[in-house]
Amino acid sequence: MPTSAERGRHVRARLLQAAAELVAEQGWNAVSTRMVAERAGVAPGLVHYHFASLPALLTEAAVQVMEGVVDGAAHGLSQARTAAQALELMLADLDRYPGDDPASRLVSEAMLASGRDEGLRTAMAGLLERFRARLGDRLAAQGVPDPRGTAAVLAAALDGMMLHRSLDPELTSTAVAPVLGRLLQDGTPGTAQEGHP
């Protein structure tokens, strides 16, 4: 028999999940408290009992989902034994998040909303930094030149391709794999200029 406090925590979790779904479907600032309550199957007033405000609910919901995405990608990455394998695993993630699925949209919506919400911005910057660090460590272990800078560019490229994919479904992982493979090669002196701080 669950105590009332436990039932309350369950309702809170359902509100968070409903909020994450709706942000992905309707857009960050098209989500209303009543929509969230309806999808969660509770009365409208409950939203402001469990959360201080609507932005606070959306921010907590987005951060929760994105932590799962980053940790999932980083965990898969830790099993790679070569640079090519790491790239292959990252592109598998690109297929898991095609750009028009709920998780991808949630991330994109949060990225834009972070420009107007300071708390969300710092939370997301922390997540990005964590992902870069793990990816950079993996690249360094494989002897990739400038692992830290390469990780930053690679992370950005993945995010960008996620966005572009919804405009061009042919931007598949097999299409971009040979191009990105060049990123992981040794730099040929003279062609690439120096200057990374």
Partner DNA sequence: CCTGGGTTTGGGCAATCGCCCAAGGCGAAC
Partner DNA sequence: GTTCGCCTTGGGCGATTGCCCAAACCCAGG
* Binding site residues, its own copies, CB under 8 A: 26-30, 84, 100, 105, 108-109, 111-116, 121, 124-125, 128-129, 146, 149-150, 152-153, 155-164, 166-168, 170-172, 174-185, 187-188, 191-197
- Residues facing residue 189 across a β-bridge: 192
32 contact partners, CB below 8 Å, separation of at least 6: 54
Cβ atoms of 117 and 175 closer than 8 Å: no
3-state secondary structure of 126: helix
Please, what is the minimum distance in Å from the beta carbon of residue 30 to its own copies? 5
Least separation in angstroms between CB 12 and its own copies: 26
Confirm if 20 and 29 have CB atoms less than 8 A apart: no
50 binds, among DNA, its own copies, none (CB under 5 to 8 A by kind): DNA
Helix (H) or strand (E) holding 164: helix 147-165
Q: Report, in Å, the least distance between residue 60 CB and DNA.
A: 13
**Shortest separation between residue 126's beta carbon and DNA, angstroms:** 25
Which residue is listed with tokens 């997540």? 127
Choose between 24 and 42: whose C-beta lies nearer to its own copies: 24
Residues that bind DNA (CB under 7 A): 1, 3-5, 7-9, 11, 31-35, 42-46, 48-50, 53-55
Neighbours of 175 (CB within 10 A): 12
